[in-house]
Amino acid sequence: MTTVASTPAAAEGMRVMTERAADFEHPLAAQLTGIALDPAGRELADRFLDTYWSDDQRQRDILAAADDDREVIIGSGYHAAVYAATRVRAGHRRPLVLERDRRVGGTFAMTTRPVFYLNSRNRPGGPGLAGDLGANLNFLPGAPIQAANVSTAEYPTNTDMAFVIRLALAQYADVVPNAKVTAVGEYDGERMDLDIDGHRTLSPRRVIDARGLGDPDGENVANGTTIVTFGQFMQRMAGIWPLRDLRRVAVLGGGDSGKCAVESLLGIAPQPFMAAAALDRVDRIDWYAEQLPTSCGDWQRDIRGRYQAIGRHLRADRSGVQRLTVLPRRAQVVDLPGMALIDGRGYDLVVLCTGAKEPFIQGLGDISGCMLKIVSGAGIVAREYYDRPVFRVGPHAQLPFSPQEYDEGIAELPGNAVAMFRLGSKTAALAATLPSASRN
């Protein structure tokens, strides 16, 4: 905050918000909210965090000082932030967070500009389940500020949530980016070796595996130009003229990532940088998705409110032109020079939103090698490997729905299996109840 406060062009939001400090739980929340709401302050804070975390000497010092009593978190997304914040607030040491990518913050931080909206509405409140009165479904337990502090939009953007995550990690963890864990050794009853590409081997007593949804399932098919993964497409949308020269586009997959990709193509996602309908407009979008409604009426009846705007494009306009068509079948894409082919149709771009696969780390198998971790009063909160103290949390844990979640209808939407409102409190419960990793 010193950097922001000492930069007049970026400090206005923080200064103004201190006048309402009494409306916040503590002065820090007021200052951070002011930074978040001031574009100049927020941009400076984000750049400062990137520079701070990427400093080579700082990274070497942190890794050199990492003793075996230090908990290590693999991944730097939402659940890494939840665990770190809850753990420190419960009186334990700051964990060490290892992020394999250059930028800290997980999926929400894949871009520096907003490119997609979150699923749950932006509102104040504490943790809770869908349908709970006054619940904030984007709540990050223990964070200094919440997504509701960052904007008044109906739905927060990915960068809103990323900023909240990054602030929490800055306060409650020591973070090392560009640190890819390649292997986890056998547990000898005291510790286990953690091999990190390009860095020294660590020997922690406990590891929290918070790798999120995983890697794109179609990355072996994508060529980065005419065939792209969801992440690559979002990177494109964050750049200059993202829809230039795109007339016919196909999207494969009907999950949330597929819906966000279609929103971007239709112009109902966050406004891209340097893009205008007069310059660039996609004429036709073919959406290959097996279980989605194909008509406007069916869409408005069956799909939740967050994505209702898409349904309006499933009918012809006054000129008789329908830009969006849902094709309820699977598709195979063929890579041709300068274009992609599906069922004989040529496309300028194909976006693969076909799910995720688990990244490989030697020594860590799939969930078949884990037992369910149960916390009294919270139910199943994580998975723990049978042969070593490694805990899978968040979407990576693939936790089953509870009887209560079936009774309350949460299990009716498959996407809720990985929802923050469902899993965030579980990760927090694990962090609050695990004993110290120290041998003492």
Under 8 Å between Cβ of 331 and 288:
yes
Domain 216-357: top CATH class: alpha beta
Pairwise CA distance, residues 372 & 401, whole Å: 12
Of all residues in the chain, the percent with pLDDT exceeding 70 is: 99
Pairwise CA distance, residues 431 & 208, whole Å: 10
- pLDDT at residue 179 in the model: 96
Pairwise CA distance, residues 342 & 307, whole Å: 26
Calculate mean pLDDT across residues 201-225. 93
The pLDDT tens digits of the residues spanning 93-124 come to: 999 999 999 999 999 999 999 999 999 999 99
C-alpha of 28 from chain center: 25
Q: How far apart are the first and last CA of the chain?
A: 35
Average pLDDT, the chain: 93
pLDDT at 318 over 90: no
Nearest in space to 269 (alpha carbons), one of 252, 286, 282, 253: 282
Nearest in space to 250 (alpha carbons), one of 345, 119, 377, 117: 345
Calculate mean pLDDT across residues 55-73. 93
**What beta strand segments (E) does 297-423 contain?**
324-327, 334-336, 339-342, 345-347, 349-352, 356-357, 370-375, 379-385, 390-392
Calculate mean pLDDT across residues 125-149. 88
The pLDDT tens digits of the residues spanning 392-423 come to: 999 999 999 999 999 989 998 888 999 999 99
The pairing of beta strand 349-352 with beta strand 345-347:
unpaired
pTM above 0.75, yes or no: yes
Under 8 Å CB-to-CB from 427, ≥6 apart: which residues?
79, 82, 83, 86, 141, 210, 381, 382, 393, 394
Q: Per-residue confidence at 126, pLDDT binned at 50, 70, 90?
A: confident
pLDDT at 429 over 90: yes
* 49's tokens: 């965090």
Nearest in space to 1 (alpha carbons), one of 138, 116, 424, 11: 11
* 290's tokens: 């097996």
Query: For residue 379, what are the CA distances in angstroms to 316, 367, 398, 422?
Result: 49, 18, 14, 12
What 3-state class would DSSP assign to 370?
A: strand
The pLDDT tens digits of the residues spanning 234-251 come to: 999 999 999 999 999 999
* 234's tokens: 């979002």
Q: Per-residue confidence at 305, pLDDT binned at 50, 70, 90?
A: confident
Pairwise CA distance, residues 243 & 280, whole Å: 6
Least confident interval from 20-24, 80-84, 160-164: 20-24
DSSP 361: B
The pLDDT tens digits of the residues spanning 342-363 come to: 999 999 999 999 999 999 999 9
- pLDDT at residue 15 in the model: 86
* 141's tokens: 């337990």
Q: Per-residue confidence at 383, pLDDT binned at 50, 70, 90?
A: very high
Query: For residue 410, what are the CA distances in angstroms to 123, 138, 258, 413, 416?
Result: 20, 16, 21, 6, 7
pLDDT at 256 over 90: yes
Better-predicted residue by pLDDT, 53 or 291: 53
Q: Where are the alpha helices (DSSP H) in 267-371?
A: 296-302, 308-311
The pLDDT tens digits of the residues spanning 270-293 come to: 999 888 888 899 999 999 999 999
- pLDDT at residue 1 in the model: 65
- pLDDT at residue 2 in the model: 77
pLDDT at 12 over 90: no
Strand order in the sheet with 370-375: 174-176, 96-98, 72-74, 207-209, 390-392, 379-385, 370-375
Bridge partners, 350 (sequence order) = 227, 250
Q: What is the largest CA-CA distance in the chain?
A: 74
pLDDT at 131 over 70: yes
Where exactly are the structural domains of the chain? 55-214+360-433, 216-357
What CATH code is assigned to 55-214+360-433?
A: 3.50.50.60
Calculate mean pLDDT across residues 164-192. 95
What 3-state class would DSSP assign to 224?
A: coil
Calculate mean pLDDT across residues 3-11. 74
Better-predicted residue by pLDDT, 30 or 157: 157
- pLDDT at residue 127 in the model: 87
Pairwise CA distance, residues 27 & 145, whole Å: 11
The kind and range of the H/E element at 249 are strand 248-252
- pLDDT at residue 440 in the model: 59
